[in-house]
Amino acid sequence: MSILVYIEKDQGRIKNSSLEAVSYAAALGGITGDNVQVVSLGESVEGESELLGKAGATGVVQVTDDRLNAGVIQAHAEVVSQVFDKVKAKTLVLAKSSLGDAVAARLAVKLEAGLVTNVVGLPDLTEGFVVRRSIFTGKAFVDTSIHTENKILAIKKNVQPVKTDGSPAPVEKVTIDLPSEAFSAKITGTEKATGEVLLPEADIVVSGGRGLNGPENWGLIEDLADAMGAAKGCSKPVSDLGWRPHHEHVGQTGVKVAPSLYLAVAISGAIQHLAGVNASRYMVVINKDPEAPFFKVADYGIVGDAFDVVPKLTEAIKALK
């Protein structure tokens, strides 16, 4: 029996969230005794076999069809459903994402599978199949039982560390005859926010708030982010005031992020902002107000004026490099 993992790629590389999903499947396979097969769609990326194998895959099914590079949801769902049957899988694992959510929903119907999203831990198999997921933007958790034979688990980012001790996975290249209706939807164009590091996939995010007093002071954030190799974000008031573009707004009504490190500078920590960043592995706050709400949830905090602290922090990071 197999556990199948659906992976996503972006700009010629496998997304880290997908590697986390592979490692989650490997951990689950260690409990159930199942092997881990990965379905890779479209163009392969450099070192794909080694990356996926190190993360825990025992095999890769490479579906070589250039039309799949565009990420057409219906086509991806059709391919994954066929590979699911081919490898005799009963469980599908994937990273929770905008594309993953759409593909998973269609697969739940095709495979007659129980679907759980925002999964935050391995299932409890002592009495059935019970998996924990986060709800209410991460403020609470609920245990959900899946009673169907086929199961789909969408894993929340930063839940599972990526394994690095596996061996390269053998690749089987296959061709699947896709019906024309699988490509009935056409992607005519894609617009992405530009920048060295984009918020949704960033491993480190540095955000600034209204406490920086104006757009003329944003160089503090840019210098620190550049020194750390981080993406740049901001709070909602900052984007509302026009200091920064709206695609940099991090929060419940903006971009939700889940980096390994989130560094908030001069942001008080309103509940709407916290809802968009609480999946971060570590949160560091710099604020001159010791009563700022952000300090109650932060892993580390610096009470001090950002105009004093941030330049010193930036220089210290540059010196370490």
Q: What is the pLDDT along the chain (321 residues), one digit of tens a residue?
A: 899 999 998 877 899 899 999 999 999 999 999 999 999 998 887 788 999 999 999 999 999 877 888 778 899 999 999 999 999 999 999 999 889 999 999 999 999 999 999 999 999 999 999 999 998 877 789 999 999 999 999 999 888 989 999 999 999 998 888 877 777 777 776 666 555 677 877 889 999 999 999 999 999 999 999 999 999 999 999 999 999 999 999 998 888 898 999 999 999 999 999 989 988 989 999 999 999 999 999 999 999 999 999 999 999 999 987
Which residue is associated with the tokens 């999964």? 119
Instruction: Please give the CATH topology (third level) of the domain spanning 2-183.
Output: Rossmann fold (3.40.50)
**Dist CA 36 CA 104 (whole Å):** 18
Strands 114-119 and 151-155: what pairing? Answer: parallel
Is there a common fold for 2-183 and 199-320?
yes
Q: What token pair was written down for 317?
A: 């990071």
Task: 64-70: list long-range contacts, CB under 8 Å, 24+ apart.
Answer: 64/173, 64/174, 64/175, 65/41, 65/175, 65/176, 65/178, 66/42, 67/42, 67/178, 67/183, 68/41, 68/42, 69/41, 69/42, 69/43, 70/187
Which residue is associated with the tokens 């840019």? 222
Task: Domain ranges for the chain, please list them.
Answer: 2-183, 199-320
Q: What token pair was written down for 94?
A: 């994937």
Residues 2, 89: contact at Cβ < 8 Å? yes
2-6: strand order across its sheet: 140-145, 130-135, 114-119, 151-155, 89-95, 2-6, 35-41, 59-63, 171-174
Domain at 199-320: CATH code: 3.40.50.1220
